[in-house]
Amino acid sequence: MSELSMEDVHTYYGDSHVLHGVSLHVAPGEVVALLGRNGAGKTTAIRSIAGFTPPRAGRIALDGEAVQGWPAYRIARRGLALVPQGRRIFAPLTVRENLLLGARSPRAADRTASWTMPRILDLFPRLRERQDQPSGTLSGGEQQMLAIGRALLTNGRMLLLDEPSEGLAPLVAREIGRIVRLLGAEGLSILLVEQNYHLALAAADRVYVMNKGTIVYEGTPTRLGADEDVKRRYLGVA
């Protein structure tokens, strides 16, 4: 388990000011969903946390230690695991090779909850069946399972999931949602970026809504589910 915080974060792409003072918090063992329409700034928030697009102002902390401005590899070694938007698997490599690329042993204090290859293949039986296949031959849902398994094998303590249901059939998206809920129940700290409103609310303990680079709402899934104005204005949910 790990803790993540963003405090008054401002991130730019060149002269374009994308994140305008974003603040959010993921407590140890908590699943937090970040919702919003396309272009709201959700992926930029993920890129800021992961070190791909460092913020120009504000503070990002893992377990209380400021990491903004660190290179991405150092943030990953600090315990951050990322499942990127679009999955980003290495198509010519086999499933097993993809999984092993970033595999790391857990810290001594975390060994009881460590992720190993057998445990990943138990979590995703379809990957066991296809572990010697080139990853580019997998279905979209199987590739998403592979991306999640690859991130878990880094044995990070904070998992960032960027649009894991994107482009998936509803039945497959529900399976991904089930996996997210399972990981949350095991105590993994998760920041879930999603446009799939129903998946996110079913998996999350708390929810943030983003619009035009700012946080416009924070609350529980139940409270958001009852707030028709926020759903209509910022999520397009009737």
Read off the pLDDT of residues 19-74 as tens digits, 9 standing for 90 and up: 999 999 999 999 999 999 888 999 999 999 999 999 999 999 999 999 999 999 99
Domains of the chain: 79-171+182-193 (3.40.50.300)
Share of the chain above pLDDT 90, in %: 66
| CA-only gyration radius of the chain, Å | 17
Residue 92's nearest CA partner among 133, 141, 150 is 133
Q: How far apart are CA 127 and CA 145, in angstroms?
A: 8
Q: What number is the average pLDDT over the span 154-165?
A: 91
d(C-alpha 12, C-alpha 153), whole Å = 31
Please report which confidence band the pLDDT of residue 112 belongs to, taking 50, 70 and 90 as the band edges: very low
Residues in Cβ contact with 21 at an 8 Å cutoff, skipping those fewer than 6 apart: 8, 9, 10, 58, 214
What pLDDT score was predicted for residue 32?
96
pLDDT greater than 70 at residue 113? no
User: What Cα–Cα distance (Å) separates residue 48 from each residue in 12, 18, 68, 86, 236?
Assistant: 10, 11, 8, 17, 26
Is pLDDT above 60 for 144? yes
Helices in the chain by DSSP H: which ranges? Answer: 42-50, 72-77, 95-101, 117-123, 125-129, 140-152, 170-185, 197-203, 221-226, 228-230
Output the pTM of the full model: 0.90
DSSP assignment letter at 30 = -
> Is the pLDDT score of 1 beyond 80?
no
